Copies of this chain bind each other. A is one copy, B any other.
Amino acid sequence: MTLAEKAYEGLRHDIIRGELPPGRPLRLAELSERYGMGFSPLREALNRLHAERLVTAESLRGFRVALLSVEEMHDAVATRIMIESEALRASIRLGDDAWAAGIVSSLYALNLQASRTGAEADIWALEARHYAFHRALLSACGSAWTMEFFERLYAATERYRIPVLLSAGRPMGRDVQAEHGALAEATLDRDAEKAVALLKDHYEKTVAALEEVHRGAGSDSRAAKAVG
């Protein structure tokens, strides 16, 4: 793996998880220190992330971590619902046994991690399995473009969820695992309309919960974190 690829993965990781908070200037001297490499691979990574809208760039004034905003979150979630609804319908239509088995296993792994508490709890392991589950639902849709957009939007919305995951022990009055279970069941029953309705509901509940946190806290993730 080249240094530029390491830089890309490290920066993406640190931005999505909020270690590099929204709006933070990404100065090359500092990044060079942080990641232990020269300017060239860092600039290449920053340009890739700029194309993915995770960082903003201004000519001759460098890069910053892209800002978050409630408006952008609503747009991202609405677009996710549109794209994932179609992808879920297509997957239900086209999915084979391997697809169904993938949903069952990723849901099982997600539930296992979600049930762990105390020292065993691991937000990042949970997050990885959450991603894997949602990806598994759509994975039979047959469209590489759709899957790419799913990944872009997942990363964008993940940034809004992280502060909440870090602060709140448990979202208010919500059984997220039950929602995942019902969604998986409807999908495996090939009941497309029900599955799509549950998916939409799942995302709308999430965005409503996130909105409260981000409304008061502005777009700085550290401030958002302090709310919980």
A78 within 8 A of B: yes
Enumerate chain B residues within 8 angstroms of A145, measured Cβ to Cβ. Answer: 75-76, 79, 153, 156
Q: How far is the CA of A60 from the CA of B4 in the complex (A)?
A: 11
Contact flag A146-B51 (CB < 8 Å), given A5-B59, A59-B2: no
A83 within 8 A of B: yes
Residues of chain A in range 45-84 having any CB-CB distance to chain B below 8 Å: 45, 47-53, 59-60, 72, 75-76, 78-79, 82-83
Q: Which residues of A contact B (CB under 8 A)?
A: 1-2, 4-5, 40, 43-45, 47-53, 59-60, 72, 75-76, 78-79, 82-83, 86, 142-146, 148-149, 153, 156
Enumerate chain B residues within 8 angstroms of A51, measured Cβ to Cβ. Answer: 47-49, 51-52
B144 touches A75 (CB 8 A): yes
Q: How far is the CA of A148 from the CA of B86 in the complex (A)?
A: 18
Min CB gap A90→B, angstroms: 9
8 A-B pairs with the lowest CB-CB distances in the bound complex, closest first: A51-B51, A79-B145, A48-B51, A44-B47, A47-B47, A47-B48, A75-B143, A82-B86
Among candidates B4, B59, B143, residue contacting A78 with C-beta atoms closer than 8 Å: B143
Q: A2-B60, A5-B59 are in contact. List 14 more A-B contacts (CB 8 A).
A: A44-B47, A47-B47, A47-B48, A49-B51, A51-B52, A72-B144, A75-B143, A75-B145, A75-B146, A79-B143, A79-B145, A79-B149, A83-B83, A145-B156
Q: How far is the CA of A60 from the CA of B156 in the complex (A)?
A: 30
